[in-house]
Chain A
Amino acid sequence: MTIPNTIRITEELVAAHGLKPDEYQRILDLIGREPTFTELGIFSAMWNEHCSYKSSKKWLRTLPTSGPRVIQGPGENAGVVDIGDGQAVVFKMESHNHPSYIEPYQGAATGVGGILRDVFTMGARPIAAMNALRFGAPEHEKTRHLVAGVVAGIGGYGNSFGVPTVGGEVNFDARYNGNCLVNAFAAGLARTDAIFYSKAEGVGLPVVYLGAKTGRDGVGGATMASAEFDADIDEKRPTVQVGDPFTEKCLLEACLELMETGAVIAIQDMGAAGLTCSAVEMGAKGNLGIELDLDKVPVREERMTAYEMMLSESQERMLMVLRPEKEHQAEAIFRKWGLDFAIVGKTTDDRRFRVLHQGEEVANLPIRELGDEAPEYDRPWVAPETRPALDPAGLPPTDIADALLKLLDSPDLSSRRWVWEQYDTLILGNSLQIPGGDAGVVRVEDHPTKALAFSSDVTPRYCEADPYEGGKQAVAECWRNLTATGAEPLAATDNLNFGNPERPDIMGQFVRAIEGVGEACRVLGFPIVSGNVSLYNETLGEPIPPTPTIAGVGLIPDWSYMARIAFPEEGQAVLLAGAPENWGEHLGQSAYLREVHGKAEGTSPPVDLAHEKRVGDFVRGLIRAGKVTAAHDCSDGGLAVALAEMSVAGGMGAHIDSPPGNPSTAFFGEDQGRYVLTCKVDDVDELLDAARAADLSLFTIGTTGGSELKLGDARAISVTEIEEAHEGWFPHFMQD
């Protein structure tokens, strides 16, 4: 019995597919007739915001994406960067925000699965993962449920797949109450002469379907992710996919084994909009047509329509163009791993995307136009309003020690141990630094000295107050965290999370943030090689704060000269690099202002990018020369929180001098471009001379040792008390 494809296309049906009337008119003009139901689904999948980047493309083009080490920038499954010795690091970050809010465990799990697939599709074995998570206010009724589910889902997938999770971020803010963010990052290692791309080549070659079977899960997921949430959100649960990390692990091994045989011409994973997007992408990039016969697609449910098969987002699937003479060898590898292998179509020379089902042609569309002719918008935007600067003199005096303990025990600054102990941080046996420091570090297997550093950063409250400075700061902090380990920052991936771009104020945030990100990347020599845009992060008209997450990768040539944050030894000098004369002065939008004074006022800390670069290069040089025994950047909570973290990590205190100016601004100011360093006392003069020669500020501010941290004239706090404050909040919140 045949399944009909003759549903009448009404205005309501077009609207239900997220297509605007003018967009539908564009379809009619393009194909010269009314589309079939399946074709309408295909257009909806290709032209939604998530797949087409129609609102963001214009601005994404302004980002710097090339550099001497960049092998592949944006436009492929992931970015590829040369790390020498014929090796490359392949990485990307991608959001899974909407699905994670609807169904936190599976939403987050499949976010991890999707990004891992992007990496190994290119021939790279995944070696590290990170995740950046933003949740609503801790006291909001859904927050605990979302945190528990998302963290378990990330762990459930990544741990089973077998990739170490080495870094990430967790923030809480009431503005994410109705729309949490789950941004997943993965990096893999490949040989530079064995990178695989999605561009199909050759006519009449088999198009092969690999991996898991196709079901009805996730039908319309990408379209769902391109709309705002409304009150009926629970009804969207069926659009969330279900992950199977076991199949993904088998798919990884089978793909890498197959790639070794030389059988693969082109490969594309099935992510958003599954079969549709992957087939169109391979054909369009190769300037070829693709013909698919859906009767050959392995399915796990009966009587699936062509529409459902084309839009299914079932996980753990790949599409590949294969050398025909290797077909049997390829099939044997997939059978060994218990995976489906089916020839479902062929490449053609007519640049048409043709879909057959039960002997009927259910779609016949121009393949290049599906992608290239997608609508592109230059959406109106208004520049965000600038905020008045904060006058720190207007704040009541505070006890420095009490304020520090309060910050360490707050939702955003407390230890994330509760989270990362649910992730396997050690698997593969190459983890040199796990979460809790400035960056995760993984050594490069089979190389005696090389290692890669990973960090993910953005400070949404800065971006909210000033999207341009906030965008700059996200890049600078990521670059700084990598630098603080001794790594040379190589390149980054961006995950741009914003509200509804049809609102000029939101579009203004987006535009200014991208301008800031681009400027910082240019000055710091830190190109964006891959990324993802997630818009419409709003619920009932309430948008999230602008959140352009930046995840970066750095190279450490010799990990025996790598810095960590822990105070290493008693009696060493504590130094502050890159700071103003009074150590710190910017309290606007600081964590201190929010947690201690309950205010969200002032401007974001400005980032002097030229200064940032000079200080970073200087610090990196000291680390690599073996002159620095510990290093930590100053970020949220300023100098005091940095010192407290170094104390806890090292299990020893420090005696810090009285600052030259106002202690609150010195200890809690969030001035950018600063690092806390330690060194042997005998090396202090040499370091100070070097800083003078480089025309950079470097102050000795104290000495390590003892069981207490004493900040100037404030009362000394025992390291145990600091640790209890720092470690206490998360388990208490999760009621463990």
Chain B
Amino acid sequence: MKSAVIQLPGLNRDRDMIAALTKVSGRSPVTVWQTETEIPDVDLIVLPGGFSYGDYLRCGAIAARMPVMKAVAEKAAKGVMVIGVCNGFQILLESGLLPGALMRNASLKFVCREVKLQVANANTAFTRSYAPGQIIRCPVAHHDGNYFTDSKTLERIEGEGQVVFRYVEGTNPNGSINDIAAIVNRGGNVLGIMPHPENLIESAHGGTDGRLLFESVLGKAA
């Protein structure tokens, strides 16, 4: 099982992600710098969280136009697994690899706290180790996590099971539509998730609820 972590200036949860992938898979991921036009042969590509290009212009907008993102899109088209967490999710949206947009939190404030997520679709490559409807703990840390899309797209992604995690009622930290916390593309190989499962994978984190996400995807590709 081989993985790659994309690095862009301003991303800052790359270290967390590299540690999580190494701990779960037993292998260090390769890192790929923004100017690379080719990504090595891997089973999983991860866009970690942070503030690529300072979130200037619009979260993820500048990063989505870097050379490496063309390579990510090519790999995704070939069925390689891709995860974008937080700013990585925003970059996937700006790249057009996932539908919708992430707006400023309804509170207009950055929020870092633990929330509860419900597995909305346990039948994906990223969630198959969870039970259907399972409620898990997971931290969030973001300023722009308020997911939104037009009603037609919303109907489609809801209808086709593309919503994979929802904030449990009363814990939605950002006002996202239908409490959406994570979605997959139609092909089921590209995941965008706002919370940070990589920060809840070992006892030092106070829980391991995020670990099963990585076990799901790493297990399948292994």
A residues sitting closer than 8 Å to B (CB atoms) are: 152, 155-156, 159-162, 244-247, 249-250, 253, 337-338, 421-430, 432, 443, 559, 736
Q: B12 touches which one: A152, A425, A427 (CB < 8 A)?
A: A427
Residues of A within 8 A of B112 (CB): 159, 421-426
- A422–B108 CA distance with the chains assembled, in angstroms: 11
Q: Could you tell me the distance in whole angstroms from the C-beta of B193 to the nearest C-beta in chain A?
A: 15
Which stretch of B15-23, B150-158, B177-185, B214-222 is in the interface? B15-23
Residues of A within 8 A of B205 (CB): 429
Pick from B24-32, B53-61, B94-102, B116-124 the stretch touching chain A. Answer: B53-61
Chain B residues with CB under 8 Å of A424's CB are 110, 112, 141
B51 and A245 within 8 A (CB): yes
A250 touches B9 (CB 8 A): yes
Known contacts A246-B54, A429-B15, A429-B16; A421 and B9 CB within 8 A of each other = no
Instruction: List 7 A-B pairs, Cβ < 8 Å.
Output: A159-B51, A160-B12, A247-B54, A250-B10, A424-B141, A427-B16, A430-B204
Choose one: A152, A246, A427, A430; the contact of B141 (CB below 8 Å): A427
Residues of B within 8 A of A428 (CB): 15-16
Beyond known contacts A246-B9, A249-B9: 5 more, CB 8 A cutoff: A159-B51, A159-B141, A159-B143, A423-B112, A427-B141
Q: Is the CB of B9 within 8 A of A426?
A: no
In the assembled complex, the Cα of A377 lies from the Cα of B69 at a distance in Å of: 60
Name which of B10, B111, B198 has the most chain A CB atoms within 10 A of its CB: B10
Known A-B contacts A152-B109, A559-B204; the reply to A245 vs B54 at CB < 8 A is yes
Cα-based distance from A253 to B50 in the complex (angstroms): 14
B interface residue numbers (CB < 8 A to A): 9-10, 12-13, 15-16, 19-20, 50-51, 53-56, 107, 109-113, 139, 141, 143, 196, 198-199, 204-205
B144, chain A: closest CB distance, angstroms: 12
**Chain B, Cβ-Cβ closest to A156:** B110
Q: Which 5 A-B pairs have the closest CB atoms?
A: A246-B54, A162-B12, A429-B16, A160-B51, A424-B141
B141 contact set on A, CB distance < 8 A = 159, 424, 426-427
Chain A residues with Cβ below 8 Å from B109 are: 152, 422
Known: A426-B141, A559-B204. A244 touches B13 (CB 8 A): no
Identify the interface centre among B54, B56, B110, B196: most chain A CB within 10 Å of its CB: B110
Residues of chain B within 8 A (CB-CB) of A430 are 204
A429 to B15, CA, bound (A): 8
Which residue on A lies nearest to B54, using beta carbons?
A: A246
- Asked whether A443 lies within 8 Å of B204 as measured between CB atoms, the reply is yes
Contacts A160-B51, A736-B107 known; A426 to B204 CB distance under 8 Å? no
How far is B187's CA from A385's CA once the two chains are assembled, in angstroms? 77
Closest chain-B Cβ to A496's Cβ sits at a distance in Å of: 31
| Bound CA span A398–B190, Å | 62
Give every chain A residue within 8 A of B54 (Cβ-Cβ).
Answer: 160, 244-247
Question: A249 to B12, Cβ gap below 8 A?
Answer: yes
Chain B residues near A250 (CB, 8 Å)? Answer: 9-10
Given contacts A246-B54, A736-B107, contact A426 B10 (CB under 8 A): no
Assess the A249–B198 pair: CB atoms within 8 A.
Answer: no
Contact partners of A337 in chain B: CB under 8 A: 9
Q: Which residues of A contact B199 (CB under 8 A)?
A: 426-427, 429
Which residues from chain B contact A559 at a C-beta distance below 8 Å? Answer: 204
B23: shortest Cβ distance to chain A, in Å? Answer: 10
Distance in angstroms from A128 CB to nearest chain B CB is 14
Q: With a CB–CB cut-off of 8 A, which chain B residues contact A162?
A: 12-13, 50-51
Write the nearest CB–CB distance from A126 to chain B, whole angstroms: 11
Which of A160, A245, A422, A429 interacts with B20 by CB under 8 Å? A429
Q: Which of B55, B113, B204 contacts A160 (CB 8 A)?
A: B55
Residue of A nearest to B7 (CB): A253
Q: Which residues of A contact B10 (CB under 8 A)?
A: 160, 246, 249-250
Min CB gap A425→B, angstroms: 6
Task: Report the bound CA distance from A162 to B7 in whole Å.
Answer: 14
A447 to chain B, nearest CB (A): 12
A337 to B7: give the CA distance in the assembly, Å. Answer: 11
Give the most central of A162, A249, A425: most B CB within 10 Å. A162
Q: How distant is B31 from chain A, measured CB to nearest CB, in Å?
A: 12
Residue of B19, B53, B110, B198 near A159 (CB, 8 A) is B110
Q: Which residues of A contact B19 (CB under 8 A)?
A: 429
Nearest opposing residue in chain A for B113, CB measure: A421
The reply to whether A421 and B111 contact each other, CB–CB distance below 8 Å, is yes
Contacts A246-B51, A246-B53, A421-B113: A161 and B12 contacting too (C-beta < 8 A)?
yes
Residues of A within 8 A of B9 (CB): 246, 249-250, 253, 337-338
Q: How far is the CB of A668 from chain B (nearest CB, A)?
A: 31
Instruction: Give CA–CA (A144, B9) in the complex, Å.
Output: 34
Interface centre among A155, A159, A559, by most chain B C-beta atoms within 10 angstroms, is A159
CA distance A152 to B13 in the complex (A): 20
Minimum C-beta distance from B98 to chain A (A):
23
Residues of A within 8 A of B139 (CB): 426
Min Cβ gap A80→B in Å is 23
Q: A422 touches which one: B16, B55, B110 (CB < 8 A)?
A: B110
A443–B107 Cα gap in the complex (Å)? 32
**Residues in chain B near residue A160, CB distance under 8 A:** 10, 12, 50-51, 54-55
Residues of A within 8 A of B56 (CB): 246
Q: How far is the CA of A4 from the CA of B205 in the complex (A)?
A: 60
The minimal Cβ–Cβ distance linking A730 to chain B, given in whole angstroms, is 13
Bound state CA distance, A162 and B196, in angstroms? Answer: 14
Distance to closest chain B CB from A723 (angstroms): 15
CA gap between A427 and B86 in the complex, in Å: 12
In whole angstroms, what is the CA distance A425 to B56 when docked?
23
Give complex CA distance A425, B141 in Å: 9
CB of A127 to closest CB in B, whole Å: 11
Q: Please, which residues of chain A bring their CB within 8 A of the CB of B51?
A: 159-160, 162, 245-246, 249
Complex: how many Å from CA A428 to CA B15? 6
Nearest chain A CB to B105's CB is how many angstroms away?
Answer: 11
Q: A432 and B204 in contact (CB under 8 A), knowing A161-B12, A249-B9, A426-B196? A: yes
Q: Bound complex: CA of A159 vs CA of B85, how far in Å?
A: 16
Task: Return chain B residues, CB-CB under 8 Å to A249.
Answer: 9-10, 12, 51
Expressed in whole angstroms, the minimum distance between the Cβ of A466 and any Cβ of chain B is: 38
Tell me the smallest distance from the CB of A736 to a CB of chain B, in Å: 7
Q: For residue B206, which residue of chain A has the nearest CB? A: A432
